[in-house]
Chains A and B, each alone.
Chain A
Amino acid sequence: MPFRNVFDEALSVWAPIAAAVFFVVSVVLLGAIALNRVKRREKLPFEASKNTPVELGYVVVLGIIVGGLVFGSFLWNSRLHNGVGLAQAQVTTPAARINVTAYRWCWDFNYQAAPVHVTGQCTVGDFPTVVVPAGQPVEFNLTSDDVIHAFWLPDFAVKRDVMPDHVNTLRLVFPHEGRWRGRCSEFCGTHHVTMDFFVRVVSPEQYQQFLHSGGTAV
């Protein structure tokens, strides 16, 4: 799961940093309160209302931290778009190209390679299921017939807006076979809440069968 991998990596770097910052600030805060309670001091521990060298030094430290964070953000972003993991999807021709059209309030999936069309009502028991091959690059071309929607696969940390008069292209490699839920995440009106779909990942052979049978046999 290339997206998920980059997401997990970014999170595993970022979460400890955030936790450390939160910890330090909390300790200083609670420490100040505790110390104050222990001894009702007559004299202030330090009277100074400024300390320029310390603050300048601190600004430099902040600058370095920001540099690191920006570097991380750039690195992960470039991986998402053309680096490790997705590189496959970028350089090779996608094994599956699927035109996705969102409308109020469901989804149409049209396969470019064969006249296969998947849709549904987006009511209980009738959510569209898009079938894709495992381990091969899949391309979704996202567009909308009416308002802005968003194509979200929460289990893969992938999201792209689906806009009218515009095509957003999303290339992914699904490593395992399985079935995952996708949701619309950009508010689009009354039935936004039920605008779900499923991604079913099958073996490449099964995928070919699926295409040849016109979208029935899986």
Chain B
Amino acid sequence: MTATADRPAPVEPVASPGGEPGSIVGWLASTDHKRIGLLTLGTALVMMVVAGGLALTIRTQLAQPQLHVLTNDRYDQFFTIHGSLMIYMVMTPFAIGMGLYLVPLQIGAPNVAAPRTTMFSFWLYVTGAVVMLSGFFTDSGAADHGWYAYPPLATGRFTPGQGVDLWIVGVALTGLGMLIMAGTVLWTALLKRAPGVTMLRLPVFSWSVVASNLMVIGAFPSLLAAVGILAIGRVRPDLFTHNAWNIGYQDVFWFFGHPVVYVMFFPYVGAIAEVIATFAGRKFFGYKFFVVSQLLFAALSMSVWGHHMFTTGQSSNYYFSLTSIALVIPAGIEYFDLLATLVGGRLRFPTAMLFGLAFIPQFLIGGLTGIMAGTPALDYQIQDSYFLVAHWHYTLAAGSLFGLFAAVYFWFPKATGRMLREGLGKAHFWLWFVGTNLTFLPMFWLGFHGMPRRIPTYLPADGFTTENLISSIGAALLGLGAMVFIVNVAESLGRPRYAGADPWQGHTLEWATSSPPPTFNFSARYPIPPVHSYAPLLDLRREREQVRSAVE
């Protein structure tokens, strides 16, 4: 039924475009979506290590009252770059990069549409990341105005350093890169599908990429406009003595800023849907409802931005509260389908599944507290407090990041041909499960009791000490877990255990080809099987079982 686990990955003698396949140039000038995808994913993981290091330093400083590991200004740079990296350079590029790697495989296409443009978008992204980080090497340090860079604070008058200029250029380059990459992947999914792969046979993951990339197309131009406005403010700070420009910036920014949090969510929930369906051994439940709910989610996401601005007194409380709470409907459908798939299944529990399962209650905490933030009477207390810090880390760190790791453990064998070690994987999972909740749960209490976000220290008399200490201990567990993961990757690459084409009994086309797949994804030896549903390999397996039992 599946390839045997210890057979080395087959090598296809196919000429590869753009330089010798194994050489550095072969990688850096590749026009193969798998390579560009892996470069994007790898860069995002490196950026995650940097952003995580910044977060651990922040947590060290906050472990006890009045510690001075960092000066106030350094601290401000650290949370700004932590947040900016995580959003612009880690979770978003990883989400779009997963689509780049997987969508052509899942739809039976030989490559991404416009591969050179796609490679260019990767270069824009890397350059943006380097430019943003280079701020640390200027005299005044990196940007320190927070990840959404509100004027007038971020103008040349109040934050004169070059760090801010570099931040603006970095965000603009990466934002443009992601816009282009999302565009080529969307184009691929819409126009490059193999015969038989109709839109309603697109795997769940590919659909979530389609919905997500549609949001990118709608929202990222707004990011470019926002940083454009900021760039003008660097030269002419007087612009921002007018309220219209300050509040206007916030509107333009959040018109991007809210959809992007779903760009950092959809592909991960799509990955989890595949993981859960696979390890429940059955077809994903409620496919059509899931697809419609994602499109609805994407459409609604463009109409909720003002909930970030309730406290400005210049947003529409009723309208944005209505649209924000309406998001419960598509989110509720997605949860129903995930749970129904699970309840009906014969479950297996490899590491990928554990991360997928933990996502469900953890992201739920983020979602429920999000509805609170969408209710102005409650938002007036929690906005800009540690409650909000807890809320979005439950969605992004306890939620999407768990989805990211579910995806890594699930598809690593496909991309490399090697299995990750399950023992190390489970150690990583448990450290993260405990660490995440220890880190972020106490922050809800801190916020309710008056701890504002973005403060470099607090006093013993504030009464924040115990919760902060617990939180910092949790963060240490996260650091440890991350190291276990790095060891796991090194071990698996250094002392390979070969994966075979389909180690998990997957459902979708990528598991029909070799691991790693040949240059043009499918070949005479690994042809595209017939596709009759969104789970073609599961169909095939069922058919074979029926034939076998009929013979017996």
The interface of chain A, by Cβ under 8 A from chain B, is: 3, 6-7, 10-11, 14, 18, 21-22, 25-26, 28-29, 31-33, 36, 40-41, 44-51, 55, 58-59, 62-63, 65-66, 69-70, 72-74, 76-77, 79-80, 104, 146-148, 150, 152, 154-155, 157-161, 163-166, 168, 181, 183-193
Contacts and interface: CB of A to CB of B under 8 A. Distances in A.
Contacts of A63: 329
Interface in B257-305: 281-289
A55 B286 contact: yes
Nearest to A33: B347
A29 B364 CA distance: 12
A187 B455 CA distance: 8
Interface of B: 72-73, 76, 145-146, 150, 152-153, 158-159, 240-243, 246-247, 281-289, 311-314, 317-318, 321-322, 325-326, 328-329, 332-333, 335-336, 339, 342-347, 357, 360-361, 364-365, 368-369, 371-372, 374-378, 380-381, 383-385, 449-450, 452-458
A14 B360 contact: no
B344 A45 contact: yes
12 contacts: A7-B378, A18-B372, A49-B286, A73-B376, A74-B321, A77-B377, A80-B377, A104-B158, A157-B381, A161-B311, A161-B312, A164-B152
A164 B321 contact: no
B153 A188 contact: yes
Nearest to A182: B450
B170 to A, nearest CB: 20
A49 B313 CA distance: 47
A10 B153 contact: no
A158 B322 contact: no
A193 B455 contact: yes
A18 B364 CA distance: 9
Contacts of B153: 147-148, 187-189
Nearest to A56: B289
Nearest to A55: B289
Nearest to A6: B377
Nearest to A10: B377
Contacts of B289: 50, 55, 59
Nearest to A152: B452
A166 B375 contact: no
Contacts of B457: 193
Given A3-B380, A46-B344, A58 B375 contact: no
B150 A32 contact: no
Contacts of A150: 311, 384
A191 B153 CA distance: 13
A3 B378 CA distance: 10
Nearest to B317: A77
Given A50-B286, A159-B380, A29 B328 contact: no
A49 B72 contact: no
Nearest to B283: A49
Contacts of B343: 28, 31-32, 45
A7 B72 contact: no
Contacts of B317: 77
Contacts of B381: 7, 154, 157-159
Given A25-B339, A184-B452, 19 more contacts: A10-B377, A25-B364, A49-B285, A49-B287, A50-B287, A55-B333, A58-B333, A62-B332, A65-B328, A70-B326, A74-B322, A76-B377, A77-B377, A79-B377, A80-B376, A152-B384, A163-B247, A164-B243, A185-B384
A51 B360 CA distance: 22
